[in-house]
């Protein structure tokens, strides 16, 4: 019994930050699709549109966070890096119709959040030559006890990752 408690102690320590409301935000990188293959799919992209999915209202209200704020942050960061940001109608006229998708999910009490930033674009299936929209690059992160500013910062960090990948195959 004592040996079992000793083995469980480190695991319990990992969960304490998530249980305590007094703890600063905790960040856990959960997924990234950023490798030579995913970067290759970014070559030649000159314009994207930005789609920020709806943020759950209860959690957003608790933090004072809005979809429009995130949309503005992401578009500004992309423009500053030299990416053309266009409307959905305009991007659909470009090859592949690439778009940056941002999703922020919050628990109703805003004690936890997840952030996903991905690049989706049209690709043709070899088997049938049909066009399908697929995620070709992406990253995500989980947060415990986040503030609105921390969420905005983490979204910007993910956009920086995207821009670094994009610039690696599209040098200026």
**Annotated domain spans of the chain:** 23-169
Q: Quote the CA–CA distance of 79 and 157 in Å, as a whole number.
A: 15
**Sign of the CA dihedral with 11 first, then 106, 74, and 45 last:** positive
pLDDT digits (tens, 9 = 90+) for 27-54: 776 667 889 999 999 999 999 999 999 9
Q: What is the pLDDT of residue 19?
A: 41
Q: What is the pTM of this model?
A: 0.81
**CA dihedral sign, ordered 61, 67, 73, 74:** positive
Round to whole Å and give the CA distance between 142 and 119: 19
Q: Tens digits of per-residue pLDDT, 61-82?
A: 999 999 999 999 999 999 999 9
Q: Which tokens belong to 39?
A: 């970067």
d(CA 13, CA 10): 5
Which parts of the chain have pLDDT scores under 50? Answer: 1-23
At 6 the pLDDT is 37
Q: Is domain 23-169 classified as CATH 3.40.1710?
A: no
């Amino acid at each position: 019994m004592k040996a079992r408690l000793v083995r469980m102690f480190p695991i319990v320590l990992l969960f304490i930050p998530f249980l305590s409301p007094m703890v600063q935000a905790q960040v856990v990188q959960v997924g990234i699709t950023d490798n030579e293959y995913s970067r290759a799919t970014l070559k030649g992209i000159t314009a994207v549109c930005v789609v920020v999915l709806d943020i759950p209202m209860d959690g957003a209200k608790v933090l004072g966070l809005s979809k429009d704020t995130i949309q503005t942050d992401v578009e500004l960061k992309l423009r500053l890096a030299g990416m053309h940001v266009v409307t959905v109608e305009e991007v659909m006229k470009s090859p592949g119709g690439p778009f940056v998708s941002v999703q922020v999910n919050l628990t109703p009490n805003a004690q936890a959040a997840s952030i996903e930033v991905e690049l989706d674009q049209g690709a043709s299936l070899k088997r049938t030559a049909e066009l399908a929209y697929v995620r070709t690059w992406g990253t995500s992160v989980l947060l415990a006890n986040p503030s609105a500013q921390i969420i905005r910062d983490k979204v910007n960090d993910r956009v920086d990752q995207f821009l670094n990948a994009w610039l690696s195959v599209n040098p200026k």
